[in-house]
Amino acid sequence: MSTARNRARDSPRPRDSPRLRGPDPALTDDPDDIELEAEMSDAVGAAAQAEEEAPLLVNPASPSASRPLARPRRKPASKHWWTICGTKLPRSLVLLIAVPSLLVVAVILERRRHRPSVPALPTLSNGTHPFHPTTLVVSIDGFRPQYLASHAELVPNLLALGQAEHGLRAASMQPVFPTLTFPNHWALLTGLYPESHGIIANDFYAPDLKGEFRYSSKDSWDPSWWWGEPMWSVAERGGRKALNIMWPGPPTMGNGVSPSYFVPYKDKSTPSDKLDQVLHYLDMPLEKRPSLLLAYIPDVDKAGHKGGPESADVERAMERSDKFIGDLVSALDARNLSQIVDLIVVSDHGMAATSKHRLVFLDDILGEDYKDVEFKDGWPAYGLRFKAGSDVDAHLAKLEAAAKESNGTFAAYTHDTMPERWHFSSGERVAPIYLVPALGWVITDHEEYERHGGDELPIKGCHGYDNELPEMQAIFFAHGPFATRVKAKAKLATRQSDARDVSVWRPGDTPGWESTSPAIMKPFPNLELFSLVMRLQQLENIAPPTNASASFWDSHFPDPLSNIRPVLYASTRRRRPSNSPYSAVEFPVTTTPRGDELELAYTMHRERVDVTNHRFWATTNTDFQAQMAARLATLPPASDPPTPEDEAAREAVLAQFYRDWQVGNRDRMNKWVKAWWSDIWTDIKLQARVYVTRALRK
């Protein structure tokens, strides 16, 4: 019996609990064993019944009667648990973590799939060092276009910049209103009107920040003042490096982006100092060198305020600024960078003469009500904000009445009456009442007048007036590969216009140009500078929306690859090997020979096409003019002055000549058109192969 008990105790327990099973006679024939199994079964049944009635009863089989009987743990169902890296975790917890994570990853991947790509800048060569296409923008504050004519002998380098083989200029560039330094420099950098970029004056009150912006305070560097995104921020986001030498604006934007190199404004810094700084960064190694450089020259503006636009101070400042331009161009030529660096010279506004005899005293107009003025924005124009609770309508009526009686010395505007062309009527930062003086006049008060010297007023020049006035216009010059391409495109357009219909076309009728020889563009808004720099730096895909025209520069660029390839029309021009962006120096055949061959093949093809076009139209124009002169020679002499009959006869002869010329040259034109379409098809194939190869090389 004891042997059977020991055997039963030592035997392993089956998978199913024996306490829940009765004796199985089939498993044993021993009577003692059968009796033992029966006793065990009865005991187990009684224990189970007691457990159901009182789960925590004392286990009588326990050595210690005081220890409670523990409820047996149920093994958790495996379907509610997952094993991850050897650790069991509840399925609900895993799903709680995994589902949001997968959603975040999906959103990131979707955004990356739709995020515009930024092409890498090509690597060029100056013959000794690699370079990326570089854009250098220089601002000469307060330089008006009239100086180019009135002081031509003082700015020979600037004039030569526009007349050089690789240079051009605009007749003028229109600033934004108000024509002040900070609103216009920020408009140049962002492509936005002041009502959109937030800097509505040099000094102003911002209701959204409940504070006053003072351009001379370092608090003005707080990015919350500055709306929009400047070109140097876009360049940094696009993987470029940017340099800012004293341009108005903050060192860091609200998105945390800063230029790679920032030189804060120093009042005593000379143009020569800034030239050294520009060249220092241009001479950096390729991986550290900025591709976008900004330099600010305030000398002409400071001299204009002090002595007036016709003063000797301005003349000396112009000479210093012109020397800076001349030395800069010489330094670029010495480094063989004339077809790698796009030099753009602009100004922010012009300058007008003023005096102590052209002042409008606001406190005289409002009288006792002047104490209700809480904030005054800008100068020489005034944006007015009256204290809460004051009678604003009565104050406005008094100002409008005074403006009518002022013989045009100033005007009073509200958001509703502001001229639409100023784009200065929306946004809470624009004061609800604005007083704008006539050219040369200044709105002030007696306290401000005395603070600035009273009868010995030291300010002889001023700006901030209507942005359509000639004295307020700015300048635009360009030198480098951009200017070369744009001039070449303009000359081809002139030849095509000449060949189409000389009875309609006149010299200078090329769209966007006042003259093609010398190259002078028609006036355009300064907001377009932003889109130009974005195109030159190949950042258009990530550039933010602006107030500029999206297609302004389309008519000036020859083709989609124009910002990385020079266009040559004149076969007589002698080229240096280092001038070509696709020279053998740039692409060693030991690195990626297939890509090199495609790049070179594309460039050579384009140059052949350009030369062919030039020769065709040059010959066509010569023949056309010779035949037209011969046909006009058959006309009888016209009376002096010509009568309407003479003009009608001349027009009839020209029209008949043009029809005859078209018929006589039809075969020649058809042959050229076929060749032209063939060139286009070849261009498409080569461009596709070049783009694919560039993508693979990245």
Per-residue pLDDT tens digits for 442-495: 999 999 888 877 766 778 999 999 999 999 999 999 999 999 888 887 765 555
Distance of CA 77 to the CA centre of its chain: 60
Strand 130-131 to strand 476-479: parallel, antiparallel, or no bridges (unpaired)? unpaired
Q: What is the mean pLDDT of residues 190-213?
A: 96
Contact 369, 399 (CB under 8 A): no
Question: Which of 59-63, 401-405, 539-543, 601-605 is the most confident on average?
Answer: 401-405
From its phi and psi, is residue 304 left (phi > 0), alpha (psi between -120 and 50) or beta? alpha
Residue 656 pLDDT: 81
What is the chain's length? 698
251 phi/psi in degrees, rounded to 5: -80, -15
Residue 512 pLDDT: 79
Residue 134 pLDDT: 97
Instruction: Report which of residues 24 and 148 the model is more confident about.
Output: 148
> What are the distances in angstroms from CA 557 to CA 354, 429, 561?
42, 38, 9
Residue 52 pLDDT: 52
Residue 569 pLDDT: 30
> What are the distances in angstroms from CA 484 to CA 180, 339, 388, 696?
32, 8, 58, 30
Helix (H) / strand (E) element for 204: namely strand 203-206
pLDDT in tens, 665-678: 777 777 777 776 77
179, 181, 409, 603: which is the annotated catalytic residue? 181
Instruction: Report which of residues 679 and 338 the model is more confident about.
Output: 338
From its phi and psi, is residue 496 left (phi > 0), alpha (psi between -120 and 50) or beta? alpha
Does a cis peptide bond (omega within 30 degrees of 0) precede residue 437?
no
For residue 510, name the pLDDT band (cuts at 50, 70, 90). Answer: low
- Give, in degrees to the nearest 5, the angle at Cα 358 between 354 and 362: 120
For residue 56, name the pLDDT band (cuts at 50, 70, 90). Answer: very low
Residue 498 pLDDT: 44
Q: Give CA–CA dist 317/297, Å, rounded.
A: 10
- Pick from 309-313, 334-338, 530-534, 578-582: least confident: 578-582
Helix (H) / strand (E) element for 374: namely strand 373-377
pLDDT at 592 over 50: no
Q: Percentage of the chain with pLDDT > 90?
A: 50
Q: Tokens at residue 146, please?
A: 């009239």
Q: Give CA–CA dist 566/660, Å, rounded.
A: 38
Map tokens 């504070």 to a residue: 211
Instruction: Report which of residues 583 and 639 the model is more confident about.
Output: 639
For residue 174, name the pLDDT band (cuts at 50, 70, 90). Answer: very high
How large is the angle between the packed helices 31-53 and 2-10, nearest 10 degrees? Answer: 60
pLDDT in tens, 135-172: 999 999 999 999 999 999 999 999 999 998 889 999 99
Q: What is the mean pLDDT of residues 285-289?
A: 95
Q: Give CA–CA dist 204/47, Å, rounded.
A: 91
For residue 99, name the pLDDT band (cuts at 50, 70, 90). Answer: confident
Q: What three-state secondary structure class fits 537? A: coil
Annotation marks residue 181 as catalytic: yes
Q: What three-state secondary structure class fits 367? A: helix
Q: Tokens at residue 1, please?
A: 């019996």
